Structures are given as C-alpha cells and as structure tokens.
C-alpha cells in the first residue's frame, strides 16, 4: 500500500503545485485596467514576431503619449499561430491579434469575436507586412544549393517542419509545389514526383518552424533549412559566419494579418487604442522597424530602402492561386490528400 500512496502523494503534490502556479499567473493577467491612468491592451501574436513587437510597442507607446497624453501598456503573447487563435476563441482576453495567416483570424471571426469585414478594415488586406519562404544553407554552400531543384539531389539533407502539424510548414510545401508547377507546366504526376523527391531528402521533420530552426542551427542537422525569410535573416544576423541565405527563383508570399478583436475591445473599452495600435503599423516609422526585423514592409518606398536585405526579384505566388487557405488544405494536407500520397507511399 505504501508504494502506491507514495506515488499518489508525489503526483498530488505536483498537481496542487501546478494548480497554484496556474492560479497565480491567471490572476496576474486577469487584473486589467487596475491603474486607471494607463490603458492596457493585449496583442496576441505568433512565435517569430517577438522581437518585432518588442521594438514596435516602445515606439507606439511614445507616439500615443505624444498624440493624446495618455499612457498605454501593451502586453504581448506569442506562440504557434493556430494555437494562439484557438486560445482567443477559448477566451484569452486579446484586444488585437496579429497572426501568421488570415485563416487563423477567420477562425476567431467564426466564433463571433471579430466582426465580418475585418480584412478590409486596414489597408492592403490588413497585412502591414509580408514575408516569404527562402533556403538557409551553411556558409560556403558546399552542396551547391541555388534553387528548389537542388533539394531533390541525392545526398542533400533537408530540414523542414511537418505540414501536417504546423500551419507555417504548409507554406514551405506550397512554395516547392509552385516551383514544380512552373517547371513542369502543370503536369501533376511530374510535380508530385518532384516534391516527393524533396521530402524524401528530409531527415528531421519537426513539429513547428522554431523547432526546425533549432534542429538546423543548434543541433547541426542537415544541409539546408526551408525557412521563413524573417527567421533566416535573424539567424544570419546572429551567426554571420556560419550561414547564408539562398533566395530561390520562385516562392510564395505570406501575408500575416492583423485585426481588432471587436468583442474584447468593446468590453475592455479599448476600441480606439486598439485601432490606433494597428494603424500605426502602416506609418513610415513602424515600417522601418518592420524592415529592420526581417519582415517585408508593405510600403514600397521603404521596402526599396531594404533592397539589400530582401531579394526583390523572386517570383512570388500567393495563397489565392491555390484557391485560398481552406481549399489548399483540402487539396494538399487533409488525411489522404497530396501530402500523404507523396510522403506515405515510401513507408509501405
């Protein structure tokens, strides 16, 4: 009896402990508007924007103080984009969301928290910045990787996350698919063969983009990482002697979207600040911060200022060419769809 009771004791201690921790942090984030002088808003965003919004929030706080004389405090939350959307649906008190995919914001809209038509609430389909998919290789590029077809060569080890578990990883797949489409003029059999050859070279398939970067950079696996441009730029900035970016001839334009979570903002009385917060993303000042952090500014003049950072000659497709996100999911990533077809046929 003592064996079991000891195990029970330990587990119950852990349970109680974790409940306490959960309770304390829960209370911490729940005490909004405690100080009436400062307005508090919460921005729920996705993983790689951490550094961007840290810098942006500082800039916005001083801008808003100057304009209205009021103090704002912005609380950030980061995580996988899909998971973040789910947490807002399930009740996280976000005033604004800045997520990786328009589709994730649509999920929140369907839950009734965001009013329909949010896509046109801000300029350029509510995407103040964009990004794309590039190839990150080790310095010297020993395997001679210059474009997507080099990833199909024997002996090239590719690192990319699993599209079936990470929404972000779907973009990698679609970018490669688009290249094959251009190359084979829409011959689907050949396109499948081509993309299959790339995925046959994948040695480690992480569950998310950050995990894949860790595998490639920290654990030294693989020759090439299929990555978000902003992640690749951040990696190269951190280790300029170890990595270089290869821009493929063809890729896909990703448009991260922003929106005010209308229901929450109404409840918190933050509608005006929240709107201002997102509008400020389009100002020159903010666009420069965006460019500095490796995202492509939507303002063309400022984008050109960063021409040395971004390869502006890449031929970029976008999700609409695949019939929108929901259609792409049906066609490619659903159980038994194209991704399963090319990736499982080798398993049997």
Examine residue 136 and tell whether it contacts other proteins (CB under 8 A).
Answer: no
Longest dimension (CA), the chain: 74
Report how far apart, in Å, the C-alpha atoms of 26 and of each of 19, 29, 78, 96 are.
10, 6, 16, 19
Backbone phi and psi for residue 340, each to the nearest 5 degrees, phi listed first: -60, -40
Closest by CA position to 165, among listed 199, 200, 211, 196: 211
Q: Which stretch binds other proteins (CB under 8 A): 40-48, 201-209, 279-287, 294-302?
A: 201-209
Q: Which stretch binds other proteins (CB under 8 A): 66-74, 113-121, 219-227, 280-288?
A: 219-227
State which residue, 214 or 283, has the beta carbon closest to other proteins: 214
What secondary structure letter does DSSP report for 295? P
Examine residue 47 and tell whether it contacts other proteins (CB under 8 A).
Answer: no
Examine residue 329 and tell whether it contacts other proteins (CB under 8 A).
Answer: yes
145-184: contacts with other proteins (CB under 8 A)? 162, 164-167
User: C-alpha angle 83/85/89, rounded to 5°?
Assistant: 115
Examine residue 335 and tell whether it contacts other proteins (CB under 8 A).
Answer: yes
Return d(Cα 84, Cα 80) in angstroms, integer.
Answer: 6
Examine residue 282 and tell whether it contacts other proteins (CB under 8 A).
Answer: no
Examine residue 207 and tell whether it contacts other proteins (CB under 8 A).
Answer: yes
65-94: contacts with other proteins (CB under 8 A)? 80, 82-83, 86
Q: Which stretch binds other proteins (CB under 8 A): 115-123, 215-223, 245-253, 294-302?
A: 215-223
Q: Of 115, 200, 285, 341, which one interacts with other proteins (CB under 8 A)?
A: 200
Q: Of 92, 119, 182, 211, which one interacts with other proteins (CB under 8 A)?
A: 211
Examine residue 14 and tell whether it contacts other proteins (CB under 8 A).
Answer: yes
State which residue, 15 or 312, has the beta carbon closest to other proteins: 15
Q: Of 92, 111, 204, 246, which one interacts with other proteins (CB under 8 A)?
A: 204
Exposure string over 143-155, b if 16+ CB within 10 A, otherwise e:
eebeebbbbbeee
State which residue, 184 or 325, has the beta carbon closest to other proteins: 325
Closest by CA position to 206, among listed 191, 229, 227, 177: 227
94-113: contacts with other proteins (CB under 8 A)? 107
Examine residue 346 and tell whether it contacts other proteins (CB under 8 A).
Answer: yes
Q: Which stretch binds other proteins (CB under 8 A): 9-17, 32-40, 185-193, 261-269?
A: 9-17
CB of 340 to other proteins, least distance (A): 8
**The residue count for the chain:** 348
Contact criterion met (CB below 8 Å) for 309 and 294: yes
Non-local (6+) Cβ contacts of 98 within 8 A are: 43, 44, 45, 46, 49, 53, 256, 257, 258, 278
Return d(Cα 281, Cα 56) in angstroms, integer.
Answer: 8
Examine residue 140 and tell whether it contacts other proteins (CB under 8 A).
Answer: no
Report how far apart, in Å, the C-alpha atoms of 180 and of each of 128, 130, 217, 238, 337 are.
29, 23, 28, 32, 17
Q: Of 214, 279, 283, 318, which one interacts with other proteins (CB under 8 A)?
A: 214
Return d(Cα 121, Cα 126) in angstroms, integer.
Answer: 7
295: exposed, middle or buried (C-beta count within 10 Å: 0-12, 13-18, 19+)?
buried
What is the contact surface with other proteins in residues (CB under 8 A)? 1-4, 6-7, 10, 14-15, 80, 82-83, 86, 107, 162, 164-167, 200, 202-207, 211, 214-215, 218-221, 329, 333-335, 340, 343-344, 346-348
């Amino acid at each position: 009896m003592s064996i079991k009771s000891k195990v029970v004791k330990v587990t119950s201690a852990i349970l109680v402990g974790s409940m306490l921790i959960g309770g304390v942090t829960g209370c911490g984030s729940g005490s909004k508007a405690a100080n009436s002088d400062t307005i508090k808003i919460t921005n729920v965003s996705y993983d790689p924007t951490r550094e961007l919004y840290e810098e942006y929030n500082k800039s916005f706080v001083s801008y808003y103080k100057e304009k209205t004389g009021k103090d704002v405090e912005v609380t950030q939350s980061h995580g996988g984009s899909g998971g973040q959307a789910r947490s807002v649906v399930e009740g996280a008190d976000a005033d604004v969301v800045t997520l990786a995919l328009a589709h994730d914001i649509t999920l929140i809209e369907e839950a009734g928290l965001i009013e329909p038509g949010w896509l046109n609430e801000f300029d350029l389909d509510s995407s103040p910045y964009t990004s794309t998919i590039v190839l990150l290789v080790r310095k010297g590029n020993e395997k001679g990787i210059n474009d997507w077809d080099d990833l199909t060569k024997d002996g090239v080890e590719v690192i990319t996350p699993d599209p079936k578990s990470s929404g972000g990883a779907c973009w990698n797949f679609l970018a490669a698919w688009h290249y094959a489409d251009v190359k084979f003029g829409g011959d689907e059999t050949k396109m499948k063969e081509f993309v299959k050859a790339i995925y046959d070279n994948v040695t480690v398939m992480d569950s998310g983009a950050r995990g894949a970067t860790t595998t490639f950079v920290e654990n030294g696996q693989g020759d090439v990482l299929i990555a978000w441009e902003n992640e690749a730029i951040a990696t190269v900035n951190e280790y300029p002697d170890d990595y270089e970016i290869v821009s493929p001839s063809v890729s896909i334009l990703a448009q991260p979207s922003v929106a005010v979570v209308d229901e929450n903002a109404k409840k918190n009385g933050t509608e005006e600040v929240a709107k201002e917060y997102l509008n400020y993303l389009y100002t020159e000042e903010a666009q420069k911060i965006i460019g500095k952090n490796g995202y492509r500014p939507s303002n063309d003049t400022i984008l050109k200022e960063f021409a040395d950072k971004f390869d502006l000659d890449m031929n970029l497709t976008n999700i609409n060419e695949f019939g929108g996100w929901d259609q792409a999911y049906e066609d490619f990533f659903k159980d038994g769809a194209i991704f399963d077809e090319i990736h499982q046929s080798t398993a049997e």
